[in-house]
Amino acid sequence: DFASRLKGLESQFESILGVEGDSNYEVFWKSSLNDRLLFWIDKNESQVDLNSCIQLIVLALSRNILRSGVKLCPSDYYSWSLDQRKVYLGASTTYQLCKSVVLENTHFEDSFYVPNWYEKYYCIIVQYERKLDTDAFSKYMHMNYPGEKPPRRAYNFRLANDIEVLTGYSNNGVCPIGEKIEKIPLIVSHRILELNDPAQIWLGGGNANVKWRVDIDEFVEKC
């Protein structure tokens, strides 16, 4: 069962302190920092993709993300309104519902490459309630380019193709942590940093049916 599968992860961490809860699995771990953390998973076994959940737990814990949660969603989740999604996830506002958008600079030129400031791909964390302005993003990156700036023609951002090849995740399941996606610079919208009470966001969890809740301060510090 799920609890025994989790116990199999003990070799990767110091110990699992227990699996408890009636409506959810509340998984208590002891990390190498001797901190206690809670990682909960919805217990509805008819929906749970155990492999996806466990992979996400391992990814989060290996990055010392000590408090986060996973929620499994039905297959028609993306046909719902943002208000319906908010209620289902238990979010306090629709502005906590976020997505990882991968942009490609189709005019990228190797000669202008500067780590973080001029790359071919970027992963942008944005709220569903707000539109990502690629022109504004291009202007910002151009304005802040260190040294002599490339010509404006060297910037043309659009949604990247081959998302699964680039990130390791399929559409609607893109998670900002993972071996492939962490090779892409990550940028968090400043609007997300303004959230509070609680300061949390919901993101894709590596599978279209898995959503990941994480505290904003921990996410910014460790991702």
Altogether, the residues listed in the chain come to a count of 223
Taking the alpha carbons at both ends of the chain, their separation in whole angstroms is: 31
Full-model pTM:
0.80
In this prediction, what percent of the chain has a pLDDT beyond 90?
Answer: 57
Give the pLDDT confidence score for residue 223 in this predicted structure.
Answer: 83
Task: Map tokens 């929906």 to a residue.
Answer: 47
| pLDDT-derived band at 214, boundaries 50, 70, 90 | very high
Which tens digits make up the pLDDT trace of 163-194?
Answer: 999 999 998 999 999 989 999 999 999 999 99
Averaged pLDDT for residues 11-35: 42
Backbone phi, psi, residue 151, to 5°:
-65, 155
The yes-or-no verdict on residue 4 having pLDDT over 70 is no
Strand-pair partners of 98: 127
Which tens digits make up the pLDDT trace of 107-143?
Answer: 999 999 999 999 999 999 999 999 999 999 999 999 9
Cα distance between residue 186 and residue 196, in whole Å: 21
Distant-in-sequence, close-in-space partners of 55: CB < 8 Å, separation ≥ 6 = 206
Give the pLDDT confidence score for residue 24 in this predicted structure.
Answer: 45
Q: Are 98 and 128 in contact, with CB atoms under 8 Å apart?
A: yes
